[in-house]
A and B are shown apart, each in its own frame.
Chain A
Amino acid sequence: MKVRAVYALILLLAALPWFIGSRYIFHIATMITIMIPLVLGMHLMVRIGQLSLAHPAFWGLGAYASALLTMRLGMPPLLSLLVGAAVPSLVALAVGPIFLRIKGVFFVLLTFAFGEIVDLIFQEWTGLFGGNSGLYGIPKFSILGLRLTQIPHYYVLGLIAAILVYLLMRAIERSDVGAILESLNEDEMLSRSMGANALAWRVAAFVVSAFAAGISGGIYAFYIGFLSPDPFGFQTIVDLIVMVTVGGAGSVLGPVLGAIVTVPLPELLRDAREYQLMIYGVCLIGFMKFAKQGLISFIVDKRRGA
């Protein structure tokens, strides 16, 4: 029942911006909804026991791809959002069969190096990505002739995407696929002996999680209207790890809570980055020391997750 209360609280928080009506609150709320698919993508990998540091790069690939498809090819925004999100998925499909043979810290380093290369490409391939000076002039998002011009419009778009991705991840977790992924994570040798193709399932998870990151990136691109390589580097890795840790990896609801609690922080502490770092650090250490399962462990018991 506590889970219901949390859902109700989240719904209430989601409606809050309309009651307050401030643009600033709408902006923070929009950023939260944008981060949710991304952190849920990262979380899917954590669930299969692989800490992927490639996700900020997937996020960036989705962002740049969506923006460029609209700007260069004149694709309708909704289509370019979906096709743009497929780009990191395809990249994940290409590198996954190689990367996912590797486990543990090696995978961490591998995905980190991969992410750095992608970020360097964003910086250096100025002809396509605009380099460090950025990619300007991303058109507004539009759907069925409706142009999204105001922050609240993007909030609604973000909310819809966040809810859809959340439902998708929850469906995966509760389905046979979730059972397979968890089995592989718990005991790979046993699971394989029963016939599961471990690598194929891991790649599938990687592809889906990259798609979630790509969707998040696309919405981010249309919302901000300008892209630079900045957000797609190491700082976002830290943010995502903080979200998953604070919220808790044990359930799909965990990272959502983590995003809700964490995303406003840098916005609120915009002029005091040192305090933000301090709070992040204290959160990471505190949760690892006292509540490894994150906030979610106080709400749902471990067995039947939300």
Chain B
Amino acid sequence: MPHKGVARGETAVIAQMIVNGLLGGLIYVIMALGFTLIFGIMRIVNFAHGEFYMLGAVGVLVLFGNFGMNYFVAVVVAGLLTGALGVIAERVLFRSVVGEEMPGMIMSLGLSIILQSVVLLALGPEEQTVARPFSGIWRIAGAVVPWDRTVVSISAIIILVAFYIFLKFSRLGLAMQAVAQDPTTASLMGVESGTIYASAYGIACLLAGLGGALMAPIYTIGPYMGQSPMLKAFVVVVIGGLGSIPGAMLGGLLLGLTESVLATLMDSTTALIASFGVVLLVVLMRPNGLLGRTVR
């Protein structure tokens, strides 16, 4: 995690840990929501999720970095393009493996490495950067908050609210929720199951793309940049309960905070080992996740 141990004094250190945790956690939430949506509805562990994140970032690199489009417009366009690609991928590839755990994993792994190789061919192996559209910092309770992360977080919150409204108030959103709870209800909701699959995968990719697009100016951009966010999403979703939307929210923030605490207290390798250890423990103690349903 960036920005560690800047502030002095105990409250400042704690405040900084919380700020870093929330900043990181919000992006995990965005990634995990899509990941859990795809799993909940299609029973597919989407190993390609990180690549849609990466494509969102590449979109911003091209549109904002090369073509000089307005940053926010570039983010939205990159996200929409990624989402559209997701809809196509669902229709062409994933429709035939819905509900089959292992083929679904293998298919998404295949898509993941194809997308990596395409970007590798197009951009080359060097990591790229785009200029930061925002700079400077502000402080809260002694903690340093960079403006660019602030913008990312506010945008993330807006996206989350929009997603929430979609789920709670649109017919499609309600149908998707019902199917995620219980796959047999698809037909009961009067929405065709194909539509639900396409929109679930598409919206999940849209979220991942927006996440990557927002993060583009903050991290370096390259073909493999999606791997770590995908893993984080996987971890969050397992911790929060596969298919559980509140679980993904809680899990994302929890992972962000845990990482930030571990990174403050230990060196990065120990922190990494510890975080995998936490994952092992959670999976072993609560195999259905913290908020997962306990009965099949």
Contact = CB atoms under 8 A, between A and B. Distances in A.
Interface in B119-133: 120-121
A277 B96 contact: no
Interface in A276-304: 276-278, 280-285, 288-289, 292
A278 B101 contact: no
A284 B107 contact: yes
Given A273-B120, A280-B113, A285 B277 contact: no
B5 interface: no
Contact of B117 (A101, A112, A275): A275
Contacts of B39: 105
A274 B109 contact: no
A114 B96 CA distance: 31
A46 B45 CA distance: 17
By secondary structure, the A interface counts as helix
A234 B118 CA distance: 19
A276 B121 CA distance: 11
Interface string B19-53: 00000000000000000000100000100000000
Given A120-B273, A245-B106, A280-B110, A288 B97 contact: yes
B235 A109 contact: yes
A249 to B, nearest CB: 9
Nearest to A114: B280
Interface centre among A101, A116, A274 (most CB of B within 10 A): A274
B110 A282 contact: yes
Nearest to A279: B117
A277 B276 contact: no
A164 interface: no
A275 B280 CA distance: 35
A110 B276 contact: no
B195 to A, nearest CB: 21
Nearest to B44: A105
B107 A102 contact: no
Contact of B113 (A113, A124, A281): A281
Given A274-B117, A289-B96, A102 B109 contact: no
Contacts of B151: none
A292 B276 CA distance: 32
Q: Which of B97, B110, B112, B279 has the most CB of A within 10 A?
A: B110
How many B residues touch the partner, as a band? 35 or more
A44 to B, nearest CB: 15
B284 A98 contact: yes
A248 to B, nearest CB: 12
Contacts of A112: 231
B284 A110 contact: yes
Contacts of B276: 113-114, 116-117, 120
B238 interface: yes
B174 interface: no
A195 B34 CA distance: 42
Interface in A96-152: 98, 101-102, 104-106, 108-110, 112-114, 116-117, 120-121, 123-124
Contacts of B227: 234
A136 to B, nearest CB: 22
B1 interface: no
B279 A277 contact: no
A31 to B, nearest CB: 20
Interface of B: 39, 45, 93, 96-97, 101-103, 105-107, 109-118, 120-121, 227, 231, 234-235, 238, 242, 269, 272-273, 276-277, 279-280, 283-284, 287
Given A105-B101, A120-B276, A281-B114, 10 more contacts: A46-B102, A110-B283, A116-B272, A117-B273, A238-B113, A241-B106, A241-B109, A277-B113, A285-B93, A289-B96
Q: Which 8 A-B pairs have the closest CB atoms?
A: A284-B110, A281-B114, A277-B117, A285-B110, A278-B117, A274-B120, A281-B113, A113-B276
Interface of A: 46, 51, 98, 101-102, 104-106, 108-110, 112-114, 116-117, 120-121, 123-124, 234, 238, 241, 245, 273-278, 280-285, 288-289, 292
